A and B are shown apart, each in its own frame.
Chain A
Amino acid sequence: MAAPGSGAPEFAMNYNFSFAYIGDSLPALFAGLVMTVQVSLLSIVCAAAIGVVGASIRIFDVPVLSQIVRFYVHVIRTTPILAQLYFIFYGLPSLGMTLSLYWSGVLCLVLWGGAYNIENVRGGFLAVSKGLRMAADSLGLERAQYLQFVALPLGLRVSTPAMLNTSVSVLKNSSYLTTIGLVELTFVAMERSAMDFRTLENFASICVLYLALVWTLSYFVRQIEDHLHKPFRDGR
């Protein structure tokens, strides 16, 4: 421990962590939490839907659309999410498309998660054996019926773990929306730290909250997974 006044760096061992401060922060943190949950949940659901639609277009190799989907996935996966966010929030208005803070954020997260989910769901679809596709075809089922009754129930079983990962990432990526000024969890912590210099309390609090959110999300996904697996009595 450095002696005071010696000029050596001073370690903050005497920092006194204030639980009372966290108590005072709760209303603000809660407001941020609500925004984070709202934006993330909406984005996760929409991204899952995009995943299913995009993957279906890819496996049925729908002309033109299939190429567009490939291009979209490629672009999202090879560029940083922050660049994508700024493109949407600062770039799109120049093209005559102005979205609110909130919707810019949602669009960014949906596009990002959607691209990853397309690959996740496609992986699940590809894991469904060619034979079952042929069996469905031989029975004269429509493509949409094959999707609904065979590819989705069987493929989603395979892709849920990967989709959970992507959903957790969408949740965590919602903190990037701070940079465009959306008042979510991270924004609240940054703002209050800047005001009160209680950086440690603020960021410790939001880390705990993010952790709780990820646990909750994983719990619900596991419920869904169990539900999907139910008909397989024989461990297949």
Chain B
Amino acid sequence: MSDARAVVSARGLVKRYKGMCALDGVDLEIHAGEIVVIVGPSGSGKSTLIRCLNGLETIDAGSIRIDGREIPSQAREEWRLARQRIGMVFQDYSLFPHFTVLRNITLAPIRAGRLSPEEADKTARRLLERVGLGGYANAYPAELSGGQQQRVAIVRALAMAPEVMLFDEPTSALDPEMIREVLDVMRQLSSAGMTMAIVTHEMGFAREVADRIVFIDRGRIVETGAPEQFLRSPRSPRLQEFLAKIL
């Protein structure tokens, strides 16, 4: 099985909300160094899928493997430890509003015993510098623009030195200029070889960085392919329709 090389893999994933099927048998593998972009209409299950991949949702059927090891939904502690190796970035940034930028970033690595407070501090400042926020260590989230907050959120995830990063529409709450700042940071990660799963509507960006694009509709993966082929010659009518709408 190719599972051995997959950092994250889902098999036959089913997730229901009160009888409504949000995910209906999804298979997905994300290999080391690979960038998978996930697209699909609103309500198709993209966020649900991303949340299932790091155990934030309990699943109703199927399995999820992290580094080839299956972790059942009930294994809460095992999932918690797995999440320390899986970075996640949310659409609304979700920074802790009562902490400074620095404390937002250093909290988890210090509490997980990954880094000493001094190391965490140094790591955070170095990463902030890299995303162009060197001067903002002591600012509070509310004092930053959306794009700046999202870059901090990316740094917060990176500070745990994750093996894989999951992004759920990281730029869809942002103004166009800010979208660029955030995408630039994600491009940096891509050239550094980071493994990523990205839900986004930025098709230009997807074409540029993705190794594979996955189209999900009504809880099922309808089509998947390399960007060029995926965008230029979509096979399924639903994907053709979707692309016509967003391009």
Contact = CB atoms under 8 A, between A and B. Distances in A.
Interface stretch (A34-42, A46-54, A113-121, A138-146): A138-146
Contact of A140 (B81, B95, B99, B142): B81
Contacts of B51: 134
B84 A140 contact: yes
A141 B143 contact: no
A141 B108 contact: yes
A219 interface: no
Contacts of A132: 94, 96
Contacts of A7: none
B108 A139 contact: yes
Contacts of B107: 139, 141, 149
Interface in B81-140: 81-84, 86-88, 90, 92, 94-99, 107-108, 111-112, 140
Contact of A154 (B84, B92, B95, B97): B97
A227 interface: no
B80 interface: yes
Given A140-B84, A141-B108, A231 B98 contact: yes
A135 B83 contact: no
A103 B111 CA distance: 40
Interface string A65-109: 000000000000000000000000000000000000000000000
B94 A134 contact: yes
Interface string A167-180: 00000000000000
B194 interface: no
A232 B83 CA distance: 29
Nearest to B95: A135
A141 B111 contact: yes
A153 interface: yes
A131 interface: yes
A153 B156 contact: no
B231 interface: no
A232 B98 contact: yes
A231 B140 contact: yes
- Sort chain B's interface into a size bin: 20 to 34
Nearest to B98: A231
B142 A135 contact: no
B90 A135 contact: yes
A205 B90 CA distance: 59
A131 to B, nearest CB: 4
User: Which of A137, A138, A142 has the most B CB atoms < 10 Å from its CB?
Assistant: A138
A154 B96 CA distance: 9
B111 A137 contact: no
B56 interface: yes
A68 to B, nearest CB: 21
Given A138-B56, A140-B81, A149 B96 contact: yes
A164 B65 CA distance: 48
Contacts of A131: 90, 92, 94
A138 B160 CA distance: 11
A209 to B, nearest CB: 38
Interface in A174-195: none
B148 interface: no
Given A138-B83, A140-B80, 20 more contacts: A131-B92, A135-B90, A135-B94, A137-B80, A138-B56, A138-B88, A139-B107, A139-B157, A140-B160, A141-B108, A142-B80, A142-B111, A145-B111, A149-B107, A149-B111, A153-B98, A154-B98, A233-B142, A233-B143, A234-B142
24 contacts: A134-B51, A134-B56, A135-B90, A135-B94, A137-B56, A138-B90, A138-B157, A139-B108, A140-B80, A140-B81, A140-B82, A140-B83, A140-B84, A140-B112, A140-B160, A141-B80, A142-B80, A142-B111, A231-B98, A231-B99, A232-B97, A232-B98, A234-B143, A236-B97
Give 8 closest A-B pairs by Cβ, nearest first. A140-B84, A234-B142, A139-B108, A135-B94, A138-B88, A140-B83, A131-B94, A231-B98
Interface of B: 51, 54, 56, 80-84, 86-88, 90, 92, 94-99, 107-108, 111-112, 140, 142-143, 156-157, 160
Interface of A: 129, 131-132, 134-135, 137-142, 145, 149-150, 153-154, 231-234, 236
